Structure 1
Amino acid sequence: MTTVRDSDVENADWLRASMVEALRDNAITSDAVAKAMAIVPRHVFVPEVHLAQAYEPNTAVPVKRDGDGMTLSSLSAPRLQAAMLEQAEVKPGMRVLEVGSMGYNAALLAELVGPAGHVTSVDIDGDIVERARAHLAAVGYDRVEVVHADAEYGVPSSAPYDRVIVTVASPDIPPAWLAQLAIKGRIVVPLQLKGVTRSIAFDRGGVGLVSRSYHPCRFVPMQGDGACKEQRLTIDTGVCLNIEDTEHSIDVNALRQALHSPPMESWPGAVFDLPDELDLFLLTNSPRMALLRASPERVDEGLVNVSARLGVPVLIGDDGSFAYRIERVQDGDVFESGVIAHGPSAEYAAAQYGQLLRRWAEHYRRRGAASIRYLPVPAVTSPERAPQQGGLLRRWHGSVAVFWPEIDGTPRR
């Protein structure tokens, strides 16, 4: 690759135009977002990296880490930022609250709302706030209001907001965000759902919020009073469970014994496709589902299938038996879902898991099949509002209800 000097403005312009063109394939769908991303000089907000890296469509740039090397703040990948802006549908003249301040996304929002609109960006980290202010001012976006505060409580002084756009992974939707949202407003939030995260565009609907769209994403976790309090159970060295939202006790010793018992393999005849949609379906269709993760070393040893390296839904039985999905290629180009199960009731666990795989393949194998609702406390979750079989996820400020309405006919992608 040819070395590019950061001082070369022509190269920055060319890289920025190339980035926008690359994102036109699926992330950017409107001229407004394309124009904003073609104007704002992204490299100014991450001067510590090479110019070409700043404009790489699929690359996030870590900016601050803790003592253990974990990322605390980062500039998200352009593809993800573009997709969320499209979800938000920001219009000229709107008032927008951004949760999480790196500066670049706030500048994009300032372009979208125009001089008649207003952008407020809030972050709990004073260093990040000062960095964002400096970079925004350097490129002429000093009209963006950058606030140093805990975003759990929003920024009431500039409310109401037509859009609340959250750029950190959040386990819940704080009451302040709802209170500061305009009547016809929209929240776009990377919501954590049983170990996976989905960027969800919510509009007001009834007593709470109703999803318009969602897609998989990754963000650094929320800090402050709204920080995620998820728990992880270590089953064995390098093998753990994310047990967020589980309402059942888990016998770690029984799971460990089952893990080291001979596995059984089952192929229920279900096609494997769209793994992010499949995983969301599995996690929200049984209260006994959790997320199983395994280190590369345990996968290489053969203790756990490779499907668990990035996390895979696991169905846990009362006696410590468990089952999780695998996949294989059939006839050269057709992928099939299968099941690996361990423990004294492995056959039963595999059968239950196989039924879920077939249900998804037959009725839900398409993008956006779920309807997601947020019901704040003290809204009463009545039977007609609550999904069955694990689709109601309790939070501190409310509940996330995930519904899977069936649509007959050929699955749509």
Structure 2
Amino acid sequence: MTAIDDSPVRDPAALRAYMVRALRDQDAITTEPVAAAFAAVPRHRFAPEAPLDVVYDLHRIVPVKKDEHDLHTSVMSAPHLQAVMLEQADIEAGMNVLEIGSGGVNAAYLQELVGSDGVVTTVDIDRDIVDRARRCLDDAGYGQVKTVLADGETGVPEGAPYDRIIVTAAAWDIPPSWIRGLMENGRLVVPLTVRGTTRSIAFGRDGDGLVSHSYRLAHFVPMQGEGAAKERKALLRDGVVVQTDDERVPLNTKALDHALDSPRREFWSGAAYDMPDELEWYLTLHLSSPARLHASEDVIASGLVDASARLGVPALVSGDSIAYRTRRENEDTGGFESGVVAHGPQAEALADEYLRLLRQWAQNHRRRGAATIRFLPGPAPSVLPQNTVLKRHGIVAVSWH
């Protein structure tokens, strides 16, 4: 359900009220302060060029700027995701908050949450985006929000320390400036990308590092500037892409494309399939040679690649073979059963590893919030422990309970 689809009206105030009710119904809004912020901010004033049915749709973004390849470099995020992250942030009146990645409307929500005694600073690397945010904030009555043109990698140290830092772009790493800029009892909410999978993680300080309070599914445009991710992508054929940020993963484009032409083999785990966001997070950290497989609607419709790859699916690759997750209906496993699609000479070996992980997750970790995520800054140990991912500024370590 989205806010606009079921609403017979086109009045912004009525649509805003309807949006808040719908966000409550979907548990994106769970507290009164966040509900009040969403009810107060005239969201459409931050996207005057967009139709109201798009602006107030719970799950739709509003494109703001694209690059020369027609890829989004800035969007106004969907209300559902913004509400989830603001709930994760647990903002109180009077706080000092830094937003990294400007759009305008989220900074307005932040200002409503901190109130007249609080301070909100929003920073972006793109002059066009900062200028647009400034115009929209002034037009909507939020002139007290500070806008800064700078690379978010460095933060805004002159305004530190911050009670909360909210990042509204997908970050591949956590730079030292963000941790230094956070109060001892502060909280960092960041869409962190690990092996191609992004989750909005609410971190608290833990000594010199960070430990998670919660994590949620998230999709954002990537960071620009110094914090940009260095990913490898292999276009196997039109509409089929494999990507990874792990240098150890072999991406032999020709061989993997040839593997797709080999017979499709399906293997079934006998384990329940549900909560795909939790399952994908587990797979991302446990697969020995992980990548992410994306396929277009045309390719999926042709039957070459399963529908699970529509938004990207964790894949296990070797030099000449590939395996990825699928599902089928099975009442014996609670409605759906997890399985694996594999192609290439090593299909069976890759499927065996993948199936083992599907069964382990279903047996031991099939619930919300089973993972604890830590960020440990500084040089990495000579041997990385299991479920640990090396970043430029430290390591991400994940444990499951």
TM range, smaller chain = over 0.9
Query: Post-superposition shift, 1:267?
Result: 1.1
Distance in 2 (CA, whole Å) between partners of 1:273 and 1:71 is 30
Other-structure match for 2:12: 12
Counterpart in the other structure of 1:80: 81
328-337 vs 178-187, which moves further: 328-337
User: How many residues are matched?
Assistant: 393
How far apart are 1:110 and its partner, in Å? Answer: 0.8
SS at 1:16 equivalent: helix
Matches of 1:66 and 1:253, distance apart in 2:
28
* Contact kept? 1:233, 1:252, Cα under 8 Å: yes
Aligned to 1:34: 35
**1:322 corresponds to:** 322
Q: Match of 1:338, SS?
A: strand
Is the partner of 1:190 in helix, strand or coil?
strand
Q: Which residue of 2 aligns with 1:409?
A: none
Tell me whether 1:194 sits opposite 2:195 in the alignment.
yes
Query: Residue 154 of structure 1 aligns with which residue?
Result: 155
1:387–1:403 Cα contact (<8 Å) kept? no
Q: Which amino acid aligns with 2:353?
A: Q
Once the two structures are TM-superposed, the CA of residue 387 in structure 1 deviates from its matched residue by 4.5
Contact 1:246 1:290 in 2 (8 A): no
Are 1:343 and 2:339 an aligned pair?
Answer: no
Tell me, in whole angstroms, the C-alpha distance in 1 between the residues paired with 2:231 and 2:74: 19
Q: CA deviation at 1:83?
A: 0.6
Counterpart of 2:301, as a letter, is D
Task: Name the stretch that deviates more: 330-339 or 270-279.
Answer: 330-339
Structure 1: gaps of 5 or more residues:
5-10, 406-413
- Cα 1:400–1:259 change in 2 (3 A) is same
Q: 1:38, 1:122 → 2: CA distance? A: 24
Aligned-residue Cα RMSD (Å) equals 1.9
- In the TM superposition, what whole-angstrom CA distance separates every residue of 1:152-206 from its partner, at most 9, and x where no partner exists? 1111111110100001111111111111111111100011121121100001113
3-state DSSP of counterpart to 1:339: strand
For 1:52 and 1:226, the matched residues in 2 are separated by 34
Distance change in 2, residues 1:3/1:12 (3 Å): closer
Give the Cα separation in 2 of the matches to 1:263 and 1:55. Answer: 42
Change (3 A) 1:279 1:93: same
Which residue in 2 is equivalent to 1:302? 303
CA shift, 1:51, in A, is 2.8
Q: Matched residues in 1 for 2:377 and 2:235: separation?
A: 32
Task: Report if aligned partners of 2:249, 2:291 keep a CA contact under 8 Å in 1.
Answer: no
- Residues 53 and 256 (structure 1), Cα distance of their counterparts in 2 relative to 1, 3 Å cut: closer
CA contact (8 A) 2:186 2:205 kept: yes
In structure 2, distance between residues paired with 1:141 and 1:185: 24
User: Please, which moves more after superposition, 325-334 or 260-269?
Assistant: 325-334
Q: Which amino acid aligns with 2:393?
A: H
Check if 1:356 corresponds to 2:357: yes
Q: Do the aligned residues in 2 keep the contact of 1:246 with 1:287 (CA within 8 Å)? A: no
SS at match of 2:212: strand
Range 46-55 or range 274-283, more displaced: 46-55
SS in 1 for 2:286: coil
Matched residue SS, 1:284: helix
Give the Cα separation in 1 of the matches to 2:241 and 2:19.
Answer: 38
Say whether the 8 Å CA contact 2:250–2:317 is kept in structure 1: no
TM-score by length of 2: 0.93
The amino acid across from 1:224 in the alignment is: G
Q: Which residue is 2:399 aligned to?
A: 403
Q: How does 1:5-404 map to 2 (within 5 A)?
A: 11-25=11-25, 26-317=27-318, 320-331=320-331, 334-378=335-379, 380-381=380-381, 387-388=385-386, 391-404=387-400
| SS of equivalent residue, structure 1 residue 403 | strand
* Distance in 1 (alpha carbons) for counterparts of 2:192 and 2:95: 23
Rounded to whole Å, the distance in 1 between the matches of 2:140 and 2:317 is 53
Q: Report the identity percentage.
A: 52
Relative distance call for 1:345 and 1:53 in structure 2 (3 A) is: closer
How far apart are 1:246 and its partner, in Å? 4.2
Runs of 5+ unmatched residues, structure 2: 1-6
In structure 1, how many angstroms separate the alpha carbons of the residues matched to 2:24 and 2:307?
33
Once the two structures are TM-superposed, the CA of residue 381 in structure 1 deviates from its matched residue by 4.3
Change in 2 beyond 3 A, CA 1:75/1:248 = closer
Determine the structure 1 residue equivalent to 2:4.
none
Structure 1 length-normalised TM: 0.90
**Counterpart AA for 2:116:** P
Q: Find the residue that maps to 1:62 and give its secondary structure.
A: strand
Amino acid of the structure 1 residue aligned with 2:12:
A
Q: 2: CA distance between counterparts of 1:273 and 1:401?
A: 24
Distance 1:270 1:293 in 2: 24
Residues 393 and 29 of structure 1, relative CA distance in 2, 3 Å threshold: same
SS state of the match for residue 79, structure 1?
helix
Give 1:220 deviation, angstroms: 1.3
CA distances 1:138-164 after superposition (whole Å, capped 9, x unpaired): 222111110111111111111110100
- Structure 1 distance, partners of 2:123, 2:229, is 18
Q: In the aligned structure 2, how far is the partner of 1:49 from the partner of 1:78?
A: 14
Which residue does the alignment assign to 1:411? none
